[in-house]
Amino acid sequence: MQENTAGRADRDLIRRIEVRLAQLGLTEEELAGQAGMSPRYFRHLIGSGADFDPGGFLRIAVALGMTYRELLEGRRDAPAGQGGAAQHPVLMRLTTDECWARLGTHGIGRIALPARPPHPGPGVFPVNYVVDGMTVVYRTDPRGAAVPEPGSEVSFQADHVEESRSVGWSVLLAGTAEHVTEPEAVQRLAGQHLGEPWAGGARNLWIRVVPAEISGRRIHRL
């Protein structure tokens, strides 16, 4: 896109178009042709906004293989971080207490396990977790991919992002994995009703991550 257009247009919209053009292997001129408009009008339309010619934006969306809303607003299920950074961002380290406070009582995080044949690298899996004392536990299928060997070194990470404000936090635990087998502990964890796996099924093995180290960071705006 030309710089004089970018100064007035929605930069996120321009970015979405540029990314989609690269994916399709199209030039701006080719897109304009497929949308039934001249390149000059295309650049004017992008700089003017959807209210100027909604039908023109609809033709652009069709040419890009996108919906009208997806073109103008972006995918609602898109990964976070596709927008620009906030003005005057500040990156701060979280204290240990702040890390546990942000993890809360339960939520969704990711468990990173050591490499196991035939896979060449570590595995990372989303899990519903529960904070139990100063540990994190999750429930999984005893024969599933998210089961580490007892005593193996693992990492656990959880985060939260406010996409509209470009702020958020991330907490990382590094430690060892334990299989929770004591009947009283299993019954107590199951009775909390906080770690119901979204994936459903018979996931009756509790894994405990005992952290040797916990760290976190937060991005906020001045």
Q: Each residue of 55-70: pLDDT tens digit?
A: 999 999 999 999 998 8
What pLDDT is recorded for position 1?
47
User: DSSP strand E in 69-166: where?
Assistant: 89-93, 106-113, 123-132, 135-140, 153-162
Tell me how far the alpha carbon of residue 88 is from its chain's centroid.
23
Residues in the chain: 222
**Chain segment 182-198, per-residue pLDDT in tens:** 999 998 888 876 667 77
CB atoms within 10 A of CB 58: 16
- pLDDT tens track for 89-117: 889 999 999 999 999 999 999 999 998 87
- DSSP helix/strand/coil, 142: coil
Find out whether the peptide bond into 118 is cis, omega within 30 degrees of 0. Answer: yes
Q: Is 87 exposed, middle or buried (0-12, 13-18, 19+ CB in 10 A)?
A: exposed
Between CA 131 and CA 109 the distance in angstroms is 11
pLDDT tens per residue, range 3-45: 443 443 478 888 889 989 999 999 999 999 999 999 999 988 8
Which one is predicted more confidently, 167 or 97? 97
Alpha helices in the chain (DSSP H): 3-6, 11-24, 28-34, 39-48, 54-64, 68-73, 96-103, 183-190
CA-to-CA separations, 41 to 2, 6, 29, 38, 122, in angstroms, rounded: 13, 15, 11, 5, 50
Cis peptide bond upstream of 197, omega within 30: no
What pLDDT is stored for residue 201 in this prediction? Answer: 77
pLDDT over threshold 90, residue 49: no
d(CA 137, CA 144): 16
Strand duo 205-221 + 167-180: pairing: antiparallel
- Pairing state between β 167-180 and 123-132: unpaired
The pLDDT score that the predictor gives to residue 3 is: 42
Dump pLDDT digits (tens) for 116-161: 877 788 899 999 999 999 999 999 999 888 999 999 999 999 999 8
Structure tokens that stand for 204 in this block: 């009756």
Closest CA to 110 of 85, 122, 86, 127: 127
Q: What are the structural domains of the chain?
A: 3-73 (1.10.260.40), 89-221 (2.30.110.10)
What's the pTM value of the predicted model, to 2 decimals? 0.67
| CA-based end-to-end distance of the chain | 31
Residue 172 has pLDDT above 70, yes or no: yes
**Residue 171 or 7, more confident:** 171
pLDDT over 90 percentage in the chain: 57
